[in-house]
Structures are given as structure tokens and as C-alpha cells.
Homo-oligomer: A and B are copies of this chain.
Amino acid sequence: MKRVAIVGIGHGKFGVRSDASLRELTFEAVKACLDDAGVSLKEVDSMVTGIAGDEFSLALQPSAQVHDYIGFYPKPNFRVEGACATGSMALRTGWMNVASGLADLVLVVGVEKMTEVPTSVATEIMGRGGDSMWEYPFGTTFPGYYAMMANAHMAEYGTTEEQMAMVAVKNHYYGHLNPFAHMQKEVTLEKALTSFTVAHPLKLFDCSLITDGAAAVLLASEERAKTISTKPVWIAGLGLATDTMRITERESLTSIAASREAARIAYQMAGVGPADIDVATVHDCFTIAEIVAYEDLGFCEKGEGGKLIEAKETYVDGRTPVNVDGGLKSKGHPLGATGVSMAIEITKQLRGEAGQRQVKDAEIGLTHNVGGTGQVAAVHIFRRE
């Protein structure tokens, strides 16, 4: 199997970007990525675009706006989608593009313009990421789905609202140190706990943000990587797994089976285990999701996720630092961009370029990205040499 490396990263500012369209957001990230790699667009062979929702910007084939605006035509580009895990699907497809020998240098772009529509409409569009026939029409939207998981986790393992709020405190702390984050301010435990209830037990500060943003990485074959970067970050494991459309058909509400399976595949491919992971970004669309991810990825025993955050083991100086870029919770969650943004954070950490948020001597990193309520999940493992 051919080896594929990340040789360039470009992160746009996440936030309510009323100043920029889908195409302009993309340009921002692509420009930064090419500058980082020291490569011109002309040298790039192919491109993959991750965009989750046609409905946010009412465009069929939104990827064409992207290759048009950055001037990439006539070279190959198309769109991939996997709801909230779309960015990781784009990375996977970019990897396949290089590893198959079809291209040597591939640009992977993730972008979403979510604030084009009112928040209520965005919530509705995302709500259809559950079963659009058998769940959403009965009124379920994402805070509701994850509230069910939270209630089940509390009932089964004694996880507390305080522990969930502690995830928010951590992620806002790191988000306030990340210049690309949507919310760059800290939050106290008290403020998080007393914020208004969205869907019991989830409160405002348990929920991630509706965000505009773009992120881009440049992938290269081994031969090309050596000519471009002195600090290539290798993609060592790719896990992708699926589950039932309906959350009501899952065997458990306290775990995401697709995450466990994707992690199993990725660990096996990379030849490492949970204890080898120096730094991770996980899918904290809600605080409970981060706690569940700790367990599904093997960072702690099942049911011990609440205690892991309570012991601060997922801070930069803890056992397994998680979401020290602010996570979806504070950095924001522009659906198509999130998976790519996660890969950028891990690349920065493995290059030793994360500044105040740097995990010491990080060599192996992991990203974990969930689509919908867990209908799909991707786990990628990265390493430096």
C-alpha cells in the first residue's frame, strides 16, 4: 500500500461569516494551505470537496462553485458527503486518490456555510440527519438525539451534568487560545451549568455551534512529500464504519458502535492502540458525545468517561489530551469542514506548531468524526517520523 502524507494545512476563521460566501470561505483555506506547503495550485493534480448540505446554500453541485472560484478547473474535483463526518470522508477519498496512483498531489477541502439560513432552518436541515422518514418527522432534532444518549449514560454509569459541563470548560479554555475558533472565550463551570436547557440534561454550553468555515489539507505521495515538506505527517490508519439509520434501532444509547468499529479498523491498520495516542480530536457535537468518545476510542473503560474529564486527563498535560483546539464545542462545527479541521490540528500538534496548546513530544495523533447520530463514523490515525 502506498504511503500518503499531509504536506500542507490551511484553516479559515470559523464563525458567523456573513462577510464571506461558500466560495470565499474556501479560497481562504486553500490559499493558506498552498502557502503552508509552498506549492502552487498549478502543481496540484486533483481535488476532493467535502460539503454536507445542499440545503444550506440551496445549490446542487456546490463543489463546482468551489473549483470555479479558486480557479482549479479543468482538473478533477467532486463532492463527498457523510453528514457531520463529511470532512473525514473527503480526507479518506483524497487518501484513496493518492494511494491508488491516480494522483500524486491532492487538495482536500471541507467547507460549510451554515448561517445562510436562519438557525431554526439549520436545526431542521440537520435534524434530517436522523431518519428523515421515521424520526425527524416526529420532531426529533440533534439536541434531542444526544439528550437521549446523555440521559442513558447518566442512568447507566452515574455520569453527571457537572462532568458534561467540565468538557465545555476544557474546550472553551482551549478554544480561547485558538485564533481560528468561533467562540474564543472561556466559560466557568457555574456559567455552563446554569445556562438554559436546550434538551434535558443538555444546556446551551453542552451544545456545539452553528458555524461557517473552511479547512484544507494537501496530500502527497511518498515521493512528492519528500520534495515538499520537511515535516510530513503520515496517514497511518483509516477506519470507517456505519450503523443503522435510526438511533432507536441501536443496541445501546451509551455508545456509538460505528465509532468503536472505525477505531478498531484504524488501530489495526496503524498497528497502534489507544495508549499510543498522544493527542486526539473527537466529535464533541455535544459534551456527552466527547465523554462517550473517550470510552468508544478506548481512552478509558466503558462508563469511566465522566471521571476522565473530572480528573483532567484530557487536558494538554493529561494522559490523553483531547480537543485541545477547542473542539466542535468552542471552535465550531461547520459540518463539511470539521473532519478536515481535526486533521489540521493533529498535523500542527505532530509538527510541534500548536503554541500554547502544544502537547509535548506528540508523535501519534487520532481524529474521530461522527456523522448524524452515529450512522457513520471515521477514525484516522496520523504519525510523524
Select which of B46, B57, B95, B372 is within 8 A of A61 by beta carbon: B372
- Is A289 among interface residues, defined by CB-CB distance under 8 A? no
Q: Given the complex, which residues of B lie within 8 Å of A82, measured CB to CB?
A: 61, 63, 78-79
Mask, A34-70, CB within 8 Å of B = 1, is 0000000000001000001111011111111101110
**Contact assessment for A242 and B77 in the assembled complex, using a CB-CB cutoff below 8 Å:** yes
Rounded to whole angstroms, the CA-CA distance of A60 and B85 in the bound complex is: 12
14 new A-B contacts, CB < 8 A, other than A65-B133, A78-B82, A96-B102, are A1-B100, A52-B61, A55-B55, A58-B128, A60-B129, A61-B83, A63-B81, A64-B242, A67-B375, A73-B241, A73-B242, A76-B240, A80-B80, A96-B99
Q: Given the complex, which residues of B lie within 8 Å of A371, measured CB to CB?
A: 61, 64, 78
Residue of B nearest to A95 (CB): B100
Rounded to whole angstroms, the CA-CA distance of A258 and B67 in the bound complex is: 13
- Is A75 among interface residues, defined by CB-CB distance under 8 A? yes
- Is A238 among interface residues, defined by CB-CB distance under 8 A? yes
Rounded to whole angstroms, the CA-CA distance of A129 and B77 in the bound complex is: 15
Q: Given the complex, which residues of B lie within 8 Å of A54, measured CB to CB?
A: 53-55
**Contact assessment for A68 and B375 in the assembled complex, using a CB-CB cutoff below 8 Å:** yes
Q: How many residues on the A side are at the interface (Cβ–Cβ under 8 A)?
A: 65
In the complex with contacts A83-B60, A132-B60, A376-B101 CB distance below 8 A? no
- A313 CB, nearest partner CB in chain B, Å: 29
Rounded to whole angstroms, the CA-CA distance of A57 and B132 in the bound complex is: 8
**Contact assessment for B76 and A241 in the assembled complex, using a CB-CB cutoff below 8 Å:** yes
Rounded to whole angstroms, the CA-CA distance of A102 and B62 in the bound complex is: 28
**Contact assessment for B74 and A78 in the assembled complex, using a CB-CB cutoff below 8 Å:** no
Rounded to whole angstroms, the CA-CA distance of A9 and B245 in the bound complex is: 26
- Is A261 among interface residues, defined by CB-CB distance under 8 A? yes
**Contact assessment for A375 and B61 in the assembled complex, using a CB-CB cutoff below 8 Å:** yes
Residue of B nearest to A240 (CB): B76
Rounded to whole angstroms, the CA-CA distance of A21 and B60 in the bound complex is: 21
Residue of B nearest to A101 (CB): B1
- A22 CB, nearest partner CB in chain B, Å: 9
- A96 CB, nearest partner CB in chain B, Å: 4
- Is A131 among interface residues, defined by CB-CB distance under 8 A? yes
Rounded to whole angstroms, the CA-CA distance of A99 and B76 in the bound complex is: 18
- Is A17 among interface residues, defined by CB-CB distance under 8 A? no
Select which of B80, B129, B131, B133 is within 8 A of A81 by beta carbon: B80
Rounded to whole angstroms, the CA-CA distance of A375 and B67 in the bound complex is: 9
**Contact assessment for B129 and A61 in the assembled complex, using a CB-CB cutoff below 8 Å:** yes
Mask, A100-123, CB within 8 Å of B = 1, is 111000000000000000000000
**Contact assessment for B80 and A242 in the assembled complex, using a CB-CB cutoff below 8 Å:** no
Rounded to whole angstroms, the CA-CA distance of A238 and B93 in the bound complex is: 16
Residue of B nearest to A132 (CB): B59
Q: Given the complex, which residues of B lie within 8 Å of A46, measured CB to CB?
A: 240
In the complex with contacts A78-B80, A376-B78, A238-B21 CB distance below 8 A? no
- A208 CB, nearest partner CB in chain B, Å: 16
30 contacts between A and B (CB under 8 A): A1-B100, A1-B101, A53-B54, A54-B54, A58-B132, A59-B132, A60-B126, A60-B372, A61-B83, A61-B372, A61-B375, A63-B81, A64-B83, A64-B371, A65-B133, A68-B244, A73-B244, A74-B241, A74-B243, A74-B257, A75-B242, A78-B376, A79-B81, A93-B93, A93-B96, A95-B100, A96-B100, A99-B100, A99-B101, A102-B238
Rounded to whole angstroms, the CA-CA distance of A244 and B23 in the bound complex is: 13
**Contact assessment for A61 and B81 in the assembled complex, using a CB-CB cutoff below 8 Å:** yes
- A240 CB, nearest partner CB in chain B, Å: 4
